[in-house]
Copies of this chain bind each other. A is one copy, B any other.
Amino acid sequence: MTVFTGNHVLSVAQFDRGAIEKVFMVADSMLPYALRKKRTQVLEGAILGNLFFEPSTRTRVSFGTAFNLLGGEVRETTGMSNSALAKGESLYDTARVLSGYSDIIAMRHPQAGSVAEFAEGSRVPVINGGDGANEHPTQALLDLYTIEKERKSHGEGIDGLNIAMIGDLKYGRTVHSLSKLLCLYKNIHFTLISPHELSMPAYICDMITNAGHKLTITEQLEGSFDADICYQTRIQEERFPSQDEANKFRGKFRLNQEIYTKHFQSKTVIMHPLPRDSRVEANELDNDLNLNPNLAIFRQTDNGVLVRMALFALTLGVEDKVSDFDRPVHWYSNKGQS
């Protein structure tokens, strides 16, 4: 499967470095629209079917907003309890029917492989918004895009990156997909920091070393101190075999401003797929980091809108026409980017 006009976006495996660079170039061109310096009606009249059979406010609204920012309309479905799927309808039937109601579909579903199965029955392009433990390619792309922008602000590219990934690397879908994408680049140093019980799957470690990258594995937060990017994830204690095991690691990977100031390089960028847990006993990224300019977690979600706009534009073949439909912005806007 190739990428772009008329095709589905189901997996990070579809993307080679050239395709990624194309997405990022288009995403860059979307920034003035997201910041309301400009406005476009290029997709006026087009309809996005935003099908979230598993609820996810953030991802759902990000897709919907991205489509609105291009001038299109959104028809939305949330949850599955009352759907035909719950009455025994196949994903194929659901796809044949619902693809008659829109020009493009963004879909999330709790079951691994479901979005690809749906896509086979669909008559319009489908973008995977997360299919259970399997894939969430737009999250991986927005993470990589954030890394690229943060590096660019230091005059550097993704090649040569030193990245630490911290927390639950076993079940964390985002770090798996991000690792796969990073393997398309050169000379990456991966430092994987997690309790042994939650370590990165062997096939990803193999992929990293086979691609010639440097791999360090540790259970100590200290491994992240000289990283360019520190990608933090949440650890759910129920993942451990026992509470005793969980207790051993509670708070061990927690970052706050004191640790950052004392140990990290001043340019280390902190990322997280969100939501972070703000409860005192669980907080993996302390709120006292909110004023740290290298906390990129809200730039990630802002970038998500740009990446999704880019994927919509590319998939519907309008990436070169966007500015032909520019319209003035009449209303007050001063939001800036995070």
Query: Which residues of A does B touch, CB under 8 Å?
Result: 5-6, 36, 39, 41-47, 49, 55-58, 61-62, 64-65, 68-69, 71, 73-77, 82-84, 87-90, 92-93, 96-103, 123-124, 274-279, 282, 287, 290, 297-298, 301-302, 305, 315-318, 321, 325, 327, 329-338
Given A65-B101, A301-B100, A330-B43, does the pair A88, B335 have CB atoms closer than 8 Å?
no
The answer to whether B61 and A275 have CB atoms under 8 Å apart is no
Complex contacts, A84 vs chain B, CB 8 Å:
57-58, 274-275
- Quickly give the copy total for this chain: 3
Task: Pick from B96, B98, B124, B274: contact of A61, CB below 8 A.
Answer: B98
The answer to whether B278 and A88 have CB atoms under 8 Å apart is yes
Closest to A4 in B: B332
Consensus secondary structure, chain A interface: loop
The answer to whether B318 and A331 have CB atoms under 8 Å apart is yes
Q: In the docked arrangement, what's the CA distance between A290 and B91, Å? A: 13
Closest to A83 in B: B57
A62, A90, A279, most chain B CB atoms within 10 A: A90
Complex contacts, A82 vs chain B, CB 8 Å:
55-57
A328 vs chain B, min Cβ distance (A): 9
Complex contacts, A335 vs chain B, CB 8 Å:
99-100, 103, 123-124
Complex contacts, A337 vs chain B, CB 8 Å:
100
Task: Pick from B43, B74, B278: contact of A75, CB below 8 A.
Answer: B74
A121 vs chain B, min Cβ distance (A): 9
Closest to A64 in B: B75
A9 vs chain B, min Cβ distance (A): 14
The answer to whether A102 and B65 have CB atoms under 8 Å apart is yes
The answer to whether B45 and A41 have CB atoms under 8 Å apart is yes
Complex contacts, A45 vs chain B, CB 8 Å:
39, 41, 68-69, 71, 327, 329
The answer to whether B317 and A100 have CB atoms under 8 Å apart is no
Q: In the docked arrangement, what's the CA distance between A69 and B65, Å? A: 19
Task: Pick from B58, B64, B101: contact of A62, CB below 8 A.
Answer: B101
Complex contacts, A39 vs chain B, CB 8 Å:
45
Q: In the docked arrangement, what's the CA distance between A275 and B47, Å? A: 23
Q: In the docked arrangement, what's the CA distance between A297 and B42, Å? A: 34
Given A47-B68, A68-B73, does the pair A332, B305 have CB atoms closer than 8 Å?
no
